[in-house]
Structure 1
Amino acid sequence: MHVGPVFGYAEKVMRCGGRFARLVGMAVDITRINPAELHRTPGYHHITVVEAGRTAFLAGQVPLDPSGALVGPDDLEAQIDQVAANAFAALSAVGAQPDQVVRSVIYVVTTDVAVLGAAWKRLNGSVIGPAFTTAATLLGVAQLGFTGQLVEVDLTAALPG
């Protein structure tokens, strides 16, 4: 394991059978690991370890605008963009950044693996993309809580000091 400063942040790099996890965070001790004995991942890590500290459990972030209206009926991409914006706002409200997320669960209304892959790709390219390098679960589901809702993201973050 390597520990060293990067732009005033702490960096950890852990090698596990040729695979490594890297974290840049603000006074939060998070280690992400992909053991060599487990399959390769498309960007997330099998294990996330957080040393003692504060934790924020965000409610599932949904594609509603500030007035409570559904954004993008029948438009998964528009809904993903709204969910990402809402999740970023929620993280910011507790002083967290997406790279401090230690667990994510993504729910998409679909049974199509290609749709799940497209949702994963769009979320990874969003403002909260670094959140999905951690322990992550992606699920296709039959229905979510709001009529017309196609996506929801549930995040847990390790908070600084």
Structure 2
Amino acid sequence: MSITRINPDVLHVTPGYHHVTVVSAGRTAYLAGQCPLGADGVLVGLGDFDAQVDQVAANTMAALAAAGAGPEQVVRTVIYVVSGEQAVLSRVWARFQASPLAAAFTTASTLLGVAQLGFTGQLIELDVTAALP
């Protein structure tokens, strides 16, 4: 079995982890939690759930493409939202459903309200697993 770790050039530089890990056994890709950071590593959409969902969706599409997959190959998602309000969670879910990543959410998905995420001002994070073609 081999493991390939990828940091696509179009995504921000990480502090040690990889955006994408591909395992040959079963050809599965495990994406690092995708955050609302631009390629420059700066948080996008401070205080704006919609802008952060859009950036997370774009980053996830880039990471999936680097692994040779698209949203149709996603087999699991976990969405983390810094909010305990049902209306906010529903709004985030609907925004992802209307994004270019929408097909990823037709699979096993979890939506969680959490107290805090890793970057100051971060409201959204997305965890994705994909079965590679």
TM range (shorter): 0.7 to 0.9
What secondary structure does 1:154 align onto?
Answer: strand
What secondary structure does 1:143 align onto?
Answer: coil
Displacement of 1:58 in angstroms is 0.2
Matches for 1:68-107 after TM superposition, within 5 Å:
68-107=41-80
CA distance in 1, matches of 2:69, 2:89: 27
Q: Which AA in structure 2 matches 1:131?
A: A
CA RMSD of aligned residues (A): 0.8
CA distance in 2, matches of 1:89, 1:127: 11
Q: Which AA in structure 2 matches 1:137?
A: T
CA distance in 1, matches of 2:60, 2:70: 10
Q: Which of 74, 89, 109 is 1:136 aligned to?
A: 109
Displacement of 1:53 in angstroms is 2.4
Asked if 1:122 is matched to 2:92, the reply is no
What secondary structure does 2:33 align onto?
Answer: coil
TM-score, normalising length: structure 1: 0.67
User: As a proportion of its length, which structure holds more helix?
Assistant: 2
Q: Which AA in structure 2 matches 1:55?
A: T
Asked if 1:57 is matched to 2:30, the reply is yes
Show structure 1 runs of 5+ residues with no match: 1-51
Aligned pair count? 109
Q: Which residue of 2 aligns with 1:66?
A: 39
CA distance in 1, matches of 2:27, 2:97: 25
Cα distance per residue 1:10-59 (max 9 Å; x no partner): xxxxxxxxxxxxxxxxxxxxxxxxxxxxxxxxxxxxxxxxxx72000000
Q: Which AA in structure 2 matches 1:88?
A: M
Q: Which residue of 2 aligns with 1:149?
A: 122
What secondary structure does 1:59 align onto?
Answer: strand
Displacement of 1:85 in angstroms is 0.1
CA distance in 1, matches of 2:58, 2:128: 13
Cα distance per residue 1:72-124 (max 9 Å; x no partner): 00001000000000000000001101010000000000000010000000001
User: As a proportion of its length, which structure holds more strand?
Assistant: 1
Show structure 2 runs of 5+ residues with no match: 1-24
Q: Which structure has more RCO (C-alpha within 8 Å, separation ≥ 6)?
A: 2
TM-score, normalising length: structure 2: 0.81
CA distance in 2, matches of 1:149, 1:127: 21
Moved over 6 A (4+): none
* Structure of larger gyration radius: 1
